[in-house]
């Protein structure tokens, strides 16, 4: 049966563990010059209704490195733009390609594609979530901190799609998460409730319960943090008054002063693109030893693990 990755709530603990392990292994093999081509003869389609540098290029590169072929599908050049139903498009694409990677606005659209497709559908960011980003970010935490377990991860900024995926992740795996947002810009009730429901469902399997804290106090939040993570104050597709946002987010810039409250070896992360002087200061972004560029690189290694697993191993792995 085919598997999708639309939200991290779709995954089991074992799926996370397998993908981290496999992505790290594939990275190691790639660095050693070992050529892995398990996807020769396979292809993926990429539909991106929003801009992308990292996600699109790393998925395309991942597919090429695994021996397969990525096909970029511009919605405006297809019959999708002339209102061919999503269901028909999904059924037809399923006859040609082996997986579909999709970035769009409305999360319902990826759900519709997934429902009507017989191939795996991978969410490459929607207004609701960015699951593959958080998979590769946790891989980066494992790489630099040895493990994500027992580490305090603090989100500073907007309660947006990337933050939602952190909340989703922490409701499945053993992750201590603090989400600090300005009042009025927090995580939606829907995300909190669906994540809490998932946690309750699994509570017998986990030793943790209150591992996600929501706050409006960035200084308190970063105390003893192992990882501080931030993202833009205005995401693609959001149409708020940015000047109003800037005022609301004034105390939520990740800068040296804020970081002085965290552990001395705190690791700062950003999914990028970054806006220097807004959510992150120039000196923090350019600090020697900063991991942002390794973090971005790891997207490619994680995408290889995801593509390989969903295309070849969906019969055994439980992903999605
Ligand atoms: N982090 C991330 O998803 O970047 P892109 O928007 O460039 O894909
Ligand atoms: N929250 C950002 C993430 C970009 C990768 C956005 O949706 O624009």
The domain ranges of the chain are: 8-129+299-312, 133-295
Q: Are 154 and 180 in contact, with CB atoms under 8 Å apart? A: yes
d(CA 69, CA 320): 23
Report the percentage of the chain scoring pLDDT > 90. Answer: 91
Q: Are 166 and 270 in contact, with CB atoms under 8 Å apart? A: no
The phi and psi torsions of 292 (rounded to 5 degrees) equal -55, -35
- Residue carrying the six token digits 């999904």: 90
Q: How far is CA 174 from the centre of its chain?
A: 17
Examine the pLDDT at 240 and tell me if it is beyond 50: yes
Ligand 2 midpoint to CA 232 (Å): 7
Which atom number of ligand 2 is nearest to the Cα of residue 125?
7
- Burial of residue 310 (CB within 10 Å: 0-12, 13-18, 19+) is buried
Which atom number of ligand 2 is nearest to the Cα of residue 234?
8
Ligand 2 midpoint to CA 33 (Å): 33
Question: Which CATH code is given to the segment(s) 133-295?
Answer: 3.40.50.1370
Which atom number of ligand 1 is nearest to the Cα of residue 272?
1
Pocket of ligand 1 (CB under 6 A): 52-56, 125, 133, 271-272
Residues 186-205: what's their mean pLDDT?
Answer: 84
Ligand nearest to the CA of 279: 2
> For 247-299, how does the pLDDT look when each residue is reduced to its tens digit (9 = 90+)?
999 999 999 999 999 999 999 999 999 999 999 999 999 999 999 999 999 99
Examine the pLDDT at 208 and tell me if it is beyond 50: no
Please report which confidence band the pLDDT of residue 20 belongs to, taking 50, 70 and 90 as the band edges.
very high
- 74-88, 176-190, 191-205, 271-285: range with lowest mean pLDDT: 191-205
> For 118-176, how does the pLDDT look when each residue is reduced to its tens digit (9 = 90+)?
999 999 999 999 999 999 999 999 999 999 999 999 999 999 999 999 999 999 999 99
Ligand 1 midpoint to CA 54 (Å): 5
Ligand nearest to the CA of 53: 1
Residues 236-245: what's their mean pLDDT?
Answer: 92
**Which listed CATH number (3.40.50.1370, 3.20.20.140, 3.30.9.10, 3.20.20.70) goes with 8-129+299-312?**
3.40.50.1370
Ligand 1 midpoint to CA 58 (Å): 9
Label residues 53-64 b or e (16+ Cβ within 10 Å = b). ebbbebbbebbe
Report the percentage of the chain scoring pLDDT > 70. Answer: 95
Ligand nearest to the CA of 137: 1
Ligand 1 midpoint to CA 272 (Å): 6
Please report which confidence band the pLDDT of residue 210 belongs to, taking 50, 70 and 90 as the band edges.
confident
Examine the pLDDT at 202 and tell me if it is beyond 90: no
Ligand 1 midpoint to CA 37 (Å): 25
Per-residue confidence (pLDDT) for residue 274, from 0 to 100: 98
Pocket of ligand 2 (CB under 6 A): 125, 160-162, 231-232, 235-236, 271
Asked if the domains at 8-129+299-312 and 133-295 fall in one CATH topology, the answer is yes
Please report which confidence band the pLDDT of residue 318 belongs to, taking 50, 70 and 90 as the band edges.
very low
> For 228-237, how does the pLDDT look when each residue is reduced to its tens digit (9 = 90+)?
999 999 999 9
Q: Which residue has the higher pLDDT, 199 or 44?
A: 44
Examine the pLDDT at 35 and tell me if it is beyond 90: yes
Per-residue confidence (pLDDT) for residue 316, from 0 to 100: 39
Ligand 1 midpoint to CA 205 (Å): 33
Label residues 4-41 b or e (16+ Cβ within 10 Å = b). bbbbbbbbbeebbebbbebbbebbeeeeeeeeeeebee
Residue ID of nearest Cα to ligand 1 atom 4:
54
Q: Are 98 and 42 in contact, with CB atoms under 8 Å apart? A: yes
Please report which confidence band the pLDDT of residue 75 belongs to, taking 50, 70 and 90 as the band edges.
very high
Label residues 250-268 b or e (16+ Cβ within 10 Å = b). eebbbeeebbebbbeebbb
């Amino acid at each position: 049966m085919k598997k999708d990755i639309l939200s991290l709530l779709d995954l089991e603990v074992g799926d996370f563990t397998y993908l981290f392990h496999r992505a790290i292994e594939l990275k190691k093999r790639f660095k050693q010059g070992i050529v892995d081509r398990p996807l020769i003869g396979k292809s993926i389609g990429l539909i991106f209704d929003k801009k992308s540098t990292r996600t699109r290029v790393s998925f395309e590169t991942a597919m090429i490195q695994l021996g397969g072929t990525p096909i970029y599908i511009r919605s405006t050049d297809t019959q999708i733009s002339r209102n061919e139903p999503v269901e028909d498009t999904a059924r037809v694409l399923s006859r040609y390609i082996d997986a579909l990677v999709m970035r769009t606005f409305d999360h319902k659209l990826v759900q519709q594609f997934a429902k009507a497709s017989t191939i795996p559908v991978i969410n490459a960011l929607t207004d609701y979530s960015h699951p593959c980003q958080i998979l590769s970010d946790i891989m980066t935490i494992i790489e630099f901190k040895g493990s994500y377990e027992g580490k305090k991860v603090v989100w500073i900024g907007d309660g947006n799609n990337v933050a939602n995926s952190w909340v989703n992740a922490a409701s499945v795996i053993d992750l201590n998460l603090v989400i600090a947002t300005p009042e009025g810009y927090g995580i939606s009730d829907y995300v909190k409730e669906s994540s809490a429901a998932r946690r309750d469902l699994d509570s017998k399997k986990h030793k943790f319960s209150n591992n996600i804290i929501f706050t409006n106090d960035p200084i308190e939040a970063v105390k003893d943090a192992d990882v501080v993570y931030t993202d833009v104050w205005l995401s693609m597709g959001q149409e708020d008054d940015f000047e109003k946002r800037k005022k609301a987010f004034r105390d939520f810039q990740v800068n040296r002063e804020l970081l002085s409250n965290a552990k001395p070896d705190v690791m700062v992360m950003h999914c990028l693109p970054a806006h220097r002087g807004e959510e992150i200061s120039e000196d923090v972004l350019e600090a020697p030893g900063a991991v942002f560029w390794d973090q971005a690189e790891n997207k490619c290694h994680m995408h290889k693990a995801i593509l390989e697993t969903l295309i070849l191993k969906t019969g055994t792995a439980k992903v999605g």
